[in-house]
Amino acid sequence: MRVFIAEDQFLLRRGLEDLLAAHGIDVVGSVADGSEILSGVRAGGADLALLDIRMPPTNTDEGIRAALALRAAQPGFPVVLLSQYVEELYLDELLSDGAGGVGYLLKDRVFDDVQFVHTLRAVQAGSTSVDPEVIARLMRRRTVQTKLSRLTAREYEVLSHMAEGDSNTQIAEKLFVTEKAVAKHINSMFAKLDLPESNSNARRVLAVLAFLRQ
């Protein structure tokens, strides 16, 4: 197996090179800048790309965008994302093309070199391997989004003002409605978000947290 590595942290990049070499895997190239991924993979003749997600020059989503570009040029090209974060942006597109050959691992949950190498080989062979914690986090986020979709436009507007720290009185003034109407919207919102019975301040905090986790 010929692997190309994209990782901006020097020690981690060198550590990955040494680890893979120790398991008989040919590292055909490694870069610290996301803009060099596509040309590096092509030049090295890699048959799997091991990519960090957040890399220079912007430290946002270079790795996952490179993965999508690689698979657009060569459907099913094996890619393994190795990240500290769960990035939902573009992830659905990457996982849902049906071609397989995708891995998503969290750096702080890779505990065993043998299992790590086994995952790379499985992805290279066409399997999909996603850390269970990634799936759990995405499911929690989707659950929140599903609940928020139950809200009416007015309830969502009230919630957005709550997230800004506005009191019921301030929300009523901004929306040109009565405080009683605001309270009614909030109580309906609490029910649709399945928030447990507790004091109103605690429920407001939970509702705002749901809004911010979208």
Span 83-139, pLDDT tens digits = 988 877 777 778 777 678 899 999 998 989 999 999 999 999 988 888 877 877 776
Evaluate whether residue 110 is within a structural domain: yes
Most trustworthy range by pLDDT among 13-17, 90-94, 101-105, 203-207: 13-17
Evaluate whether residue 158 is within a structural domain: yes
Q: Which pLDDT score, from 0 to 100, does residue 8 have?
A: 96
Picking from 25-29, 60-64, 88-92, 118-122, which range would have the lowest pLDDT averaged per residue?
88-92
SS3 of residue 212 by DSSP: helix
| Sign of the torsion angle spanned by Cα atoms 30, 35, 36, 39 | positive
pLDDT of 199 strictly over 70: no
pTM for this prediction: 0.71
Cβ contacts of 56 within 8 Å, gap of 6 or more = 8, 32, 33, 34, 35, 62
The answer to whether 193 and 147 are in contact (CB under 8 A) is yes
Domain boundary among 101, 131, 161: 131
pLDDT of 212 strictly over 80: no
CA dihedral 45, 46, 49, 52 (to 10 degrees): -70
Evaluate whether residue 145 is within a structural domain: no
Domain check: are 31 and 113 in the same one? yes
Domain check: are 168 and 63 in the same one? no
Query: Domain range for residue 120?
Result: 2-131
Taking the C-alpha atoms of residue 168 and residue 177, their distance in angstroms, rounded to an integer, is 10
Give which of 114, 115, 78 is closest to 97, Cα–Cα: 78
Band of pLDDT at residue 207, cut at 50, 70 and 90: confident
Alpha helices in 90-131 (DSSP H): 91-95, 113-124
Tokens for 171, please give them.
């929300």
pLDDT of 31 strictly over 90: yes
Total count of domains within the chain: 2
